[in-house]
Amino acid sequence: MEQKKTLRRAAAVQDLSGFGRCSLTVALPILSAMGVQCSCLPTAVLSTHTGGFKGYTFRDLTEDMEPFFRHWQKENFAFDALYTGYLGSLHQLEIVQRFFDAFQTKENITLVDPVMGDHGVLYSRFDDRMVRGIRALCARADVMVPNLTEAAFLTDTPYRPDMQSEQDMQQVCEKLLALGAKQVVLTGVRPEKDLLGAACHDGKHLHIYARPHVPKQYDGTGDVFASVLLGGMLQGNTLQKSMEQAADFTRICVQKSLENGTDMHHGVDFEMCLPLLIGMQTQK
């Protein structure tokens, strides 16, 4: 007899940026395409994301966050994954700690994407105190997904984009794991000049995965990567396989957006690539 499929459920704690595909407008469609139910705990509603647009509106939903998840708790909702991304204030980081207290279990996956900067600099709204708060969230993660900039701030080491050897990756991952997370996936890794990819460390082994670099940067690609990574893990795949799938899919989205001449701040044209994700599905 065919086994019943179980629908996995993730809770995504992220903002909703109305324009410029990132955070929830990426996590929701991607997880859905991968057969994962995505519940949303919105942290803020913005007219656009904060990287590249001037004069955006920002409706802070911090005050709603705790009543929002306490209601979920009263309803006895449970989640196979807790997924956090861009968090805009210290107060929100404290609330997410309580969200973890309420919903973490031995079985579920907590994925913390420590969104706070890129290219060696912190985003606006982020400072040292925020870095410390995000470090404390990473300590409670099963998987953390920093880029090289975030890894440098989290480990309090200078940003050195030229340090890309296997030994360098091993060292960075070990320092990140020392923060307390069980597994780490490092993004934006460049083992050779024309390659771009990611490295993962599951506490035992380091794996590096890189493909020919598509020479254009797009906002929101970190969110695409983290969402596919989580979807893959919830489908029962290993960290390494999920990382490879996330890297491949992100690369395909960047390639498609480049072909389409899409503005970098609009995020990637992932919609045209979603059928591929549905095709990649291996959920038991």
The residues binding ligand PXL (CB under 6 A) are 15, 17, 22-23, 46, 49-51, 86, 115, 123, 220, 222-223
Helical (H) or strand (E) element with 242: helix 239-260
Least distance in Å: CB of 149 to ligand PXL?
12
Least distance in Å: CB of 211 to ligand PXL?
21
Least distance in Å: CB of 58 to ligand PXL?
8
Output the six-digit token pair for 282: 């291996």
Least distance in Å: CB of 90 to ligand PXL?
16
Give the bridge partners for 210, in sequence order. 197
Least distance in Å: CB of 268 to ligand PXL?
11
Which residue, 31 or 208, has its beta carbon nearer to ligand PXL? 31
Which residue, 12 or 46, has its beta carbon nearer to ligand PXL? 46
Output the six-digit token pair for 137: 């969230």
How far is the C-alpha of 51 from the C-alpha of 126, rounded, in Å?
Answer: 13
Residue 2, SS3? Answer: coil
Which residue, 48 or 237, has its beta carbon nearer to ligand PXL? 48
Least distance in Å: CB of 115 to ligand PXL?
5
How far is the C-alpha of 181 from the C-alpha of 274, rounded, in Å?
Answer: 30
Provide the greatest CA pair distance for the chain: 58
Closest residue by Cα to residue 41 from 9, 64, 17, 7: 64
Give the bridge partners for 206, in sequence order. 201
Which residue, 27 or 152, has its beta carbon nearer to ligand PXL? 27
Q: Quick check: 149 and 139 in contact, CB under 8 A? A: no
Which residue, 133 or 220, has its beta carbon nearer to ligand PXL? 220
What is the bridge-based pairing of β-strands 109-112 and 81-84?
A: parallel
Which residue, 17 or 110, has its beta carbon nearer to ligand PXL? 17
How far is the C-alpha of 226 from the C-alpha of 239, rounded, in Å?
Answer: 12
Least distance in Å: CB of 198 to ligand PXL?
16
Which residue, 93 or 206, has its beta carbon nearer to ligand PXL? 93
Residue 173, SS3? Answer: helix
Least distance in Å: CB of 135 to ligand PXL?
18
Q: Quick check: 235 and 30 in contact, CB under 8 A? A: no
| Amino acid letter, 207 | H
Which residue, 88 or 164, has its beta carbon nearer to ligand PXL? 88
- DSSP-assigned letters across all residues of 51-81: SS-SS--EEE-HHHHHHHHHHHHHTT---SE
